[in-house]
Amino acid sequence: MPPLHERLMELAVSRGFLLPSAEIYNAPGGFYDYGPAGAALKRHIQEQWRRIFITEPGFLEIESCNVLPQAVLVASGHVEHFADPVTECTKCHQRYRADHLLEQKTLSSWAGLSPSDLNAGIKEHKLACSNCKGELGPIAWVNLMFPTYIGAGIENQAFLRPETAQGMFLDFKRLFVQQGSKLPLAVGQIGRSYRNEVSPRQGLIRSREFSQMELEYFFSPMQDKIEGFEKIENETVRVLPPTDGDAPLAVEDVSLRDAVSRGYFPNEILAYMVYLEDRLYRSLGITHGKYRFRVMPRDELPHYSKGNVDLEAETSYGFIETSGIAYRTDFDLSQHAKHSKQDLSVFVDEEKKRLIPHVVEPSMGVDRTLWCVLESAYRPAGNGKEWEWFAFPPRIAPFVAGVFPLMKKDGLDELAQNLTAVLRAAGLEVYYSQSGSIGKRYARADEIGVPYCITIDYETKEKAHEAGGPTVTIRYRDDGQQERVEISELAAKLLQLVKSDKVRKE
């Protein structure tokens, strides 16, 4: 049996979730296109994020540019520090990420170690080029950003953004004024980010172009409470606290309130963001026991951070960090104020003084999250189905329903097409299919996780003009059972089913 991620990647490509980008040119790895099923699934995941993160008053969504002038990324530290340690084969010049090579060999993390430690590790573990067995050269830092130029000359250096977050910092001052000059202010966006990974690997997990859903919560450091915390403080989340010395790591189910009072989370705001990420993962159907919030130990924190918590999901690749929440203090705004020579401080009424706001940033990867959704929803053949299928929650499935005429003749096809148009006009994402036997069409719907199939049969046609109105069948994905429903009630019924997550007849 191949590992689950190999099989899933095959299914994802063959069923139109993912397509290797520029495949006909044998293009370099690390780039994926989303096919029809994948693009819809991704869009629905993003809509869920929006529903959960951008609903509170004072939470705004923006869309900022992907190309950033060099000065921005000098200020943010990306030009100097956003680099990976790379070793090059002295014979065939193949390049490798040194920490990854050592990780594969020793099965332990080498992230963040100095070049001399990595050089020593390569020697100690006798690592050689996997291509030609040549000797590996000394570590060099390779910046991960994609460079470009603005305009005709080469003097205006720029980069594709390595994170969406910078847009929120750059737009902060104007948004603050537009929103009535009040803190707290939360600004988020969903968009593409670009990192020229030395060794992209594990499909969507480490790619060169990917999407992020990030939010910057700007607040006064003297007011590090968040409205509504008292309503959720007893919710529990799975936390992996930092350990003392060599004590083994142990996951705890802990309430948000206790996580703050024990010092796992630096304040209520970060705890609130953990709650929102947890809500999002639950709503996406990611098995609760399969992810945890790892509190970063103090010695791993960046110098400006007052606390970082990573959402780590258990996948067939092992535990993967799919999101992070960071208490970034005033680092980013202060850096931009210094480099742009603009005043980014604001006047805070409560304190009657000017200050640079602090920031808590929940940063979620769309693609890694989507991969977790695929893994969680995957079902092997069995239990009445001869095909592998996906059990997505109805609210994020690529389509709500497929609409099928039993036969593509006798006017059933026309009735089904009309019904498709009516359901679309009611705002439901449905598709029409008439090719293949009805059994095959049900199987194809299951294969991309469509929760309901609507079939127009001869009874629908015969009763088209009867009192009570014509009926159609709804087939439920998870148990394959069907029920008859009046067409006039169908749209409302589907909306209700989606809302209640019902995927079985009983």
Q: Given the rule CB under 6 A, which residues bind ligand GAP?
A: 163, 165, 195, 197, 206-207, 210, 212, 214, 321-324, 363, 365, 367-368
Distances (CA, A) of 312 to 239, 253, 263, 315, 317: 10, 15, 19, 9, 12
Residue 471 contacts by C-beta under 8 Å, 6 or more apart in sequence?
459, 460, 463, 484, 485, 486, 487
Backbone angles phi, psi at 7, to 5 degrees: -65, -40
Smallest separation (angstroms) from ligand GAP to the CB of 20: 15
Q: Which two tokens stand for residue 167?
A: 């847009």
Q: For residues 216 and 446, which CB has a smaller minimum distance to ligand GAP in the complex?
A: 216
Q: For residues 363 and 471, which CB has a smaller minimum distance to ligand GAP in the complex?
A: 363
Smallest separation (angstroms) from ligand GAP to the CB of 365: 2
DSSP string across 230-284: HHHTT-EEEEEPPPSTTPPP--EEEEHHHHHHTTSSSSHHHHHHHHHHHHHHHHT
In single-letter form, the type of residue at position 4 comes to: L
Backbone angles phi, psi at 331, to 5 degrees: -55, -55
**Percent of the chain as helix, strand, coil, to the nearest 5:** 35, 25, 40
Q: For residues 315 and 433, which CB has a smaller minimum distance to ligand GAP in the complex?
A: 315
Q: For residues 77 and 134, which CB has a smaller minimum distance to ligand GAP in the complex?
A: 77
Backbone angles phi, psi at 210, to 5 degrees: -150, 175
Smallest separation (angstroms) from ligand GAP to the CB of 90: 27
Give me the count of residues in the chain: 506
Q: For residues 197 and 330, which CB has a smaller minimum distance to ligand GAP in the complex?
A: 197
Smallest separation (angstroms) from ligand GAP to the CB of 74: 17
* Calpha distance 504→506 (Å, rounded): 5
Q: For residues 321 and 343, which CB has a smaller minimum distance to ligand GAP in the complex?
A: 321
Q: Is the separation of the CB atoms in 480 and 385 below 8 Å?
A: yes
Residue 138 contacts by C-beta under 8 Å, 6 or more apart in sequence?
87, 115, 119
SS3 for 270-305 is HHHHHHHHHHHHHHCCCCHHHEEEEECCHHHCCCCC
Q: Of 413, 416, 402, which is closest to residue 446 (Cα–Cα)?
A: 402
Number of helical H runs and strand E runs in the chain: 16, 26
Q: For residues 207 and 220, which CB has a smaller minimum distance to ligand GAP in the complex?
A: 207
Smallest separation (angstroms) from ligand GAP to the CB of 224: 20
What's the farthest any 2 CA atoms get from each other in the chain? 84
Smallest separation (angstroms) from ligand GAP to the CB of 323: 5
Q: For residues 281 and 389, which CB has a smaller minimum distance to ligand GAP in the complex?
A: 281
Smallest separation (angstroms) from ligand GAP to the CB of 466: 55
Smallest separation (angstroms) from ligand GAP to the CB of 390: 21
Q: Is the separation of the CB atoms in 460 and 471 below 8 Å?
A: yes
Smallest separation (angstroms) from ligand GAP to the CB of 43: 17
Residue where the block lists tokens 């069948």: 473
Q: Of 482, 477, 470, which is closest to residue 502 (Cα–Cα)?
A: 477
How are beta strands 147-149 and 358-365 bridged, if at all? unpaired
Smallest separation (angstroms) from ligand GAP to the CB of 321: 5
Smallest separation (angstroms) from ligand GAP to the CB of 425: 37
Q: Which two tokens stand for residue 34?
A: 């989303």
Q: For residues 294 and 385, which CB has a smaller minimum distance to ligand GAP in the complex?
A: 294
Q: For residues 78 and 475, which CB has a smaller minimum distance to ligand GAP in the complex?
A: 78
Determine the residue with CB nearest ligand GAP. Answer: 365
Strand partners, 214: 189, 363
Q: For residues 212 and 433, which CB has a smaller minimum distance to ligand GAP in the complex?
A: 212
Cα-only R_g, the chain: 26
Angle between helices 487-500 and 412-425 (to 10 degrees): 50
Q: For residues 87 and 212, which CB has a smaller minimum distance to ligand GAP in the complex?
A: 212
Q: For residues 99 and 197, which CB has a smaller minimum distance to ligand GAP in the complex?
A: 197
Smallest separation (angstroms) from ligand GAP to the CB of 445: 29
Smallest separation (angstroms) from ligand GAP to the CB of 45: 12
